[in-house]
Amino acid sequence: MLEIADPIELERPQDKLIRRLCASLSGYLDQTQIDQCVHAYEVGAAAHSGQFRKSGEAYICHPVSVAISLAEMRMDANGIMAAILHDVIEDTPVSKKELAAQFGSEVAELVDGVTKLSKIDSKSHAETQAENVRKMFLAMAIDLRVIIVKLADRLHNMQTLGVMPAEKKRRIARETLDIYAPIANRLGMNNIRQKLEALSFEAMYPMRHAVLNNAVKKARGNRRKIVDIIESTIKNRLEQAGLNCEVAGREKNLYSIYKKMLNKKISLADVFDVYAFRIFCDDVDTCYRVLGIMHNLYKPIPGRFKDYIALPKANGYQSLHSILMGPYGVPIEIQIRTHEMHRMSESGIAAHWLYKSEDDKAEKFRDRANEWLRDLLEIQKSAGDSLEFIDNLKVDLFPQEVFVFTPQGAIIKMPRGATIIDFAYAVHTDVGNACVSARIDKQLVPLQTKLENGYTVEVITASWARPNPLWLNYVITAKARSGIRNYLKNFKQLEAINLGRRLLEKELQSLHLHLEDIDKEKIQALLQVMSKQSLDELLEDIGLGNKMPFLIAKRIAQDDIRAVLKLEDGDQTKKKPLIIKGTEDMVITLAKCCRPIPGDSIIGYFNPGKGIVVHHHECRNSSLVIKKQINWLDVEWSEDAVGDFPVEIRIEILNQRGSLATVASTISELNSNIENVTVVDQDDRICVDLITLTVKDRVHLAKIMRRLKELSIVVKITRVKA
């Protein structure tokens, strides 16, 4: 045990704290483990020697206070040591290697996971914090104790915010409400969540907190009598039924009251008018018996019953919730759960260490948490940057679940408002990427259909399918959004590389060269000069229009260019046009001003970052491109170009009933679809319309226009090319 020689030093705050920690640890750890924790304290105290917090107390008081919080949760010895040492890597010269040598690699990894990143080259404080959270989640995936230590650390920081400037208080409180309190909730650590929310509310809105606190204190006195009457009635009825249950009145915390007033735009009197009680039972069967007794005692309010025992929340929370109409017409909120469920609801994932000797319930909590972390890891791998990851995380931290079934009868939880696309990605990322349609209760439905409780969902996939960028407007889960973005980002990259290769090959052919024949050392030297890591990276830049292919080709061929210049005039190679199929939609764009289609004479130009923009040769804009745009190139349609291409026609028809319907049905008969109709001019005799329709090629368009000209109602028809 710790020995302190000088009696005067017994009054130091850190000595009081370490004695308090040892007393707490003695309740569940053996003496050897306690001695290890004391040794960690001695190392931490020496490392932090001379460091003080803004409050003036020795810095070591903070990590010991964090360790005390964890000891109350019965954290294991390694977790306690990590808590005591959690700031030494960040704030002292002690290294991770030195920690591993003294306390083992497990403690060193835990400390490193909690440690903030230093010297981050970030553009803003927000990015720095986002990167810290991202690193913390990576460490969590290895060991869940990282987040438990971090939450205890944040809790003590919130408890000692008093000396901070007001602006910093608000910023830390906002971060706590946005990230840490929801994480505690997601991991089922209800006790810590409520403390974090209460402290954050007070730091962010001190005046609102004070006013609301005073109002609640005044209202509490008037409520006491009603609470006692209801509690006594419930206890008597349970005793009559021969059930040994514990009944406790429950009061909403201030932040919960404030949120309810804000979201529902109601007064304190309306929020405080609900009387809440918890009933603790010995087993699950008794919970349901008690529910029946309560519904007989007071009438339940329809639609206000939730069974979280049969269908637990995502964080493992289990309880029966019901709203009843009590005496004097006041609503009563009843929560019925077992003692074990209550312990789990307060401690959450920490129950893995707290109650693991009693049964395997805590293992289920850990499995749930690990499943959530696996999803987050998948998201973070594809997130573009830390801020995008944080946005995804925030979406994931505020779920309101609906329960749907797979065709095999498995239950899958989805956030409220989730669509079939979200469901497909929840099943597996590959299923989401390949989904084309779905059936709900055996009826075909659109992919953007929102899910409701009890739906049986069957996703239909196809090997040729790929995500549509429009899906991002429908999905709400982080996993689906991340999966779609990642696929589209990689798909665009692949298309850009293929297009860049074709463009470079075309330019090299004009110089009597081929890319595969170029010496690898020469390619490597070029990549080094252009600061590119690989040939694919250079080809992607060419495909996106950021680099000119003929300039790259000339640099590659600079040793051989003289041979090309010596060719006889009649032997000079003509540049071949670039062949396009019209399916390269991520890197080749068809101009909307002239809407070129297969069979048209076309011209293209490079638009940096977007690739190639293709115009009709007769388009007014294309002549401007040729005059002003030095990055233009000859392109032509492939003979096997396939797809539906939009084209615009101007049609003058007789202004009589049914004319437009006749035109539309004629277009439909010829396997074309109308995308848009705009009325340009109209009088008593003639109506002029602009119609955007889809065609296969120039021949298909000619056939449609010829058929329309045969209609007696059509006066004139032309194609719009600019």
Residue 571's pLDDT band, with cuts at 50, 70 and 90, is very low
Asked whether residue 44 falls in the same domain as residue 60, the answer is yes
Asked whether residue 191 falls in the same domain as residue 292, the answer is no
Quick check: is 648 catalytic?
no
Residue 118's pLDDT band, with cuts at 50, 70 and 90, is very low
Mean pLDDT value of segment 426-431: 87
384 in a structural domain: no
pTM: 0.53
460 in a structural domain: no
Whole-angstrom distance, CA of residue 466 vs CA of residue 432? 9
Asked whether residue 528 falls in the same domain as residue 589, the answer is no
Domain boundary among 207, 228, 252: 207
Q: Over 80: is that where the pLDDT of 585 sits?
A: no
Domain that holds residue 15: 7-207
Domain boundary among 328, 355, 382: 355
258-302 pLDDT per residue, tens: 888 887 888 877 776 567 899 999 999 999 999 999 999 999 988
Mean pLDDT value of segment 29-33: 89
Q: Over 90: is that where the pLDDT of 354 sits?
A: no
Give the range with max mean pLDDT: 323-327, 335-339, 590-594.
335-339
User: Which of these is catalytic: 91, 143, 333, 618?
Assistant: 91
> How is residue 177 written in tokens?
């409400």
Closest CA to 559 of 590, 588, 591, 521: 521
Q: Over 60: is that where the pLDDT of 377 sits?
A: no
Residue 640's pLDDT band, with cuts at 50, 70 and 90, is confident
54-104 pLDDT per residue, tens: 777 888 999 999 999 888 878 888 889 999 998 888 888 888 888 889 888
Collapse the DSSP code of 671 into the 3-class scheme (helix H, G, I; strand E, B; otherwise coil) and give the result.
coil
User: Which of these is catalytic: 90, 401, 537, 652?
Assistant: 90
648-705 pLDDT per residue, tens: 999 999 888 888 889 988 998 888 888 888 888 888 788 888 999 989 888 999 999 9
pLDDT of residue 705: 92
| Distance in angstroms between the alpha carbons of the first and the last residue of the chain | 88
pLDDT of residue 569: 41
Mean pLDDT value of segment 149-174: 86
> By mean pLDDT, which of 45-59, 122-136, 307-321, 355-369 is the weakest?
355-369
Collapse the DSSP code of 557 into the 3-class scheme (helix H, G, I; strand E, B; otherwise coil) and give the result.
coil
Whole-angstrom distance, CA of residue 412 vs CA of residue 431? 15
Whole-angstrom distance, CA of residue 533 vs CA of residue 490? 17
pLDDT of residue 514: 76
SS3 helix, strand, coil % of the chain, rounded to 5?
A: 55, 15, 30
Report angle CA 279, 283, 286 to the nearest 5 degrees. 65
pLDDT of residue 237: 92
* Cα-Cα-Cα-Cα dihedral sign, residues 379, 383, 385, 390: negative
Selected residue with higher pLDDT from 230 and 263 = 230
481-506 pLDDT per residue, tens: 888 888 777 776 777 777 778 878 87
Quick check: is 90 catalytic?
yes
Asked whether residue 136 falls in the same domain as residue 104, the answer is yes
Q: Over 60: is that where the pLDDT of 123 sits?
A: no
Give the range with max mean pLDDT: 144-148, 316-320, 586-590.
316-320
pLDDT of residue 373: 58
Query: What values do phi and psi take at 689, rounded to 5?
Result: -120, 150
372 in a structural domain: no
Asked whether residue 229 falls in the same domain as residue 340, the answer is yes
Q: Over 70: is that where the pLDDT of 44 sits?
A: yes
Asked whether residue 485 falls in the same domain as residue 562, the answer is yes
pLDDT of residue 560: 43
Torsion-angle region of 77 (φ positive above 0: left; ψ -120 to 50: alpha; else: beta): alpha
CATH value at residue 129: 1.10.3210.10
Whole-angstrom distance, CA of residue 540 vs CA of residue 495? 8
> By mean pLDDT, which of 166-170, 231-235, 534-538 is the weakest?
534-538
CB atoms under 10 Å from CB of 664, counted, come to 14
Q: Measured between alpha carbons, how far is residue 42 from residues 32, 65, 94, 96, 152 in Å?
A: 15, 15, 13, 17, 21
Asked whether residue 25 falls in the same domain as residue 86, the answer is yes
680 in a structural domain: yes
Task: Count the alpha carbons within 13 Å of 604 in the hemisphere toward its beta carbon.
Answer: 25
Asked whether residue 99 falls in the same domain as residue 187, the answer is yes
174 in a structural domain: yes
- Residue 3: beta bridge partners? none
Mind giving me the DSSP string for 111-129? HHHHSPP-S---SSHHHHH
pLDDT of residue 584: 55
Asked whether residue 193 falls in the same domain as residue 229, the answer is no
Instruction: Check: CB of residue 614 under 8 Å from CB of residue 635.
Output: yes
